[in-house]
A and B are shown apart, each in its own frame.
Chain A
Amino acid sequence: MYLAKTLNSSEVQTPLYVDILERILNHTSEDGKVNIDKAILEAQQIALEKKEIYSINHRYYFLVTTLLGKYFEGLKEIKDEQINDKVYSDILHLLK
């Protein structure tokens, strides 16, 4: 090997999700918002037992399982699929 550090997927993913959430909250870019919203709503469906845990999409598995572990009650409070800045801010806080 050269000097490359062995990277752990979750270590790599966290700063990338933090970057997306900060941009959404700063209103500088909504790029990535669609996937974040899909992950939040998928996690919510599982929290509400409307969706099977086995069907979590592998494209945002880390985020969904992180939300289930750390934001379970918050997920259940989201109404009518409306994700507001408070939700993004809460998730940003738990990722940091």
Chain B
Amino acid sequence: MDYSAIQLQLRQVDEAFSRSRINVYSDTKKKCHFNELHSLFVEISKIELSALSPGDVEIHYNLLSFVLNGLEYLDNSTLNVIPYELVSCLELALNDWIDDDNFIIVTSLSNKHIEYLLSTNFNSETFLSTNRYIQGKYNLKITNRLIRITLPKSLSRDYLSSAVLYHELGHFIDLEYNISQKILLKKYPPHIPIPIGVLPSDINKEYRHTLEFFADLFAAQYVNQSTNFFLQRITTPSRDGDSETHPSTAKRLQIVNDFIDGKPLEILDEFNHVLSPSSLPALKVRHSNLDPKISDFKNLTPQKLKTPQELHAIFKLAWDVWIDSETNFLKDFEEKERYHIINNLVEKSISNYTIQEKWNKA
């Protein structure tokens, strides 16, 4: 790679900024991040590209990719687009795991059905060393890191399927603290040759499956079996089985069921053994139980939520009401209406809670 790659990137970033200039964000942190990315771009634009060393060319290429990628997610996180209620729930869950206040959850709406992703190109190690570099070279600093979540545009206000975003947040926590990696690192220390008969692809598969189990358990802490309910509905049992990237649905459902039932679970113990020396809390149930039979939903009014635990429990309540909707208080409505009612009630319940919280803190 030579500096001509950066010449092209600068033009692309310039174009992207001209498109994003009119964006209105839902909070000041996003605006601040936008301004910091722009300042970095302006400073890089001033340098003599041909004078950069090969190492500096590589770093600058990565910096400009970081700017472009950040802009893309900011564009999708403007006031009118961001699924604000969902993000509010995820932010509260994040608070249980991260002390820093320097994160921004941003979203990108995908046109692909059931595409829920989490992008973590820059973990804390990369963020720190990148900041050290740009402080030294440009006297600039990037204050906040983006947690980038992709979700299907068509389902951005579907609170039944969107519970899987807690699973995606679990991936972020895992990758941030290298939890699954540490389990594999202990089993296969990097300075010892891989045991005979074990292939690198076997280790990679084991690692990928460990990541999924962690994310499933992480989500279950907050949304109980909501992700299981969704997973069941998108799995064809006759085709279920382990893949290179994911354990079978049957295994995943069982692990979450056992966790919720408080049964002994070897993989849970393993995760908790890593979490403690990493100064992180243990995986445990972090939600209340809202009984649909006595919930406010029964009166077709939003659920009154008093605590973050109750807030997270709203997703399980939604599923409970949906699953029984042919026989419960929604039975007289058409299926289409039931679906709309549940999603509207969930959204309003979350919205009322977040407004009340802001009011209390003001």
Contact = CB atoms under 8 A, between A and B. Distances in A.
Contacts of B190: 65, 68-70, 72
14 contacts: A2-B16, A11-B62, A12-B62, A12-B122, A16-B132, A19-B55, A19-B133, A22-B55, A32-B132, A54-B182, A58-B123, A59-B124, A63-B125, A68-B191
Interface in B101-157: 120-126, 128-130, 132-133, 136
A45 to B, nearest CB: 13
A40 interface: no
Contacts of A62: 125-126
Nearest to B121: A7
Contacts of B133: 16, 19
- Closest 5 pairs between A and B when the two form their complex, measured CB to CB: A69-B190, A4-B68, A72-B191, A55-B277, A4-B69
A6 B59 contact: no
Contacts of B229: none
B237 interface: no
Nearest to B54: A15
Contacts of B130: 12, 16
A8 to B, nearest CB: 8
A12 B126 CA distance: 7
Given A19-B55, A52-B277, A7 B62 contact: yes
B55 A1 contact: no
Given A13-B129, A68-B190, A56 B121 contact: no
Interface of A: 1-9, 11-13, 15-20, 22, 29, 31-32, 35, 47, 52-56, 58-63, 65, 68-70, 72
A54 B124 CA distance: 17
A65 B189 CA distance: 9
A12 B123 CA distance: 10
A17 to B, nearest CB: 7
B178 A58 contact: yes
B125 A58 contact: yes
A9 B126 contact: yes
Contacts of B122: 7, 9, 12
B191 A65 contact: no
Contacts of A65: 181, 185, 190
A47 B191 contact: yes
A58 B136 contact: no
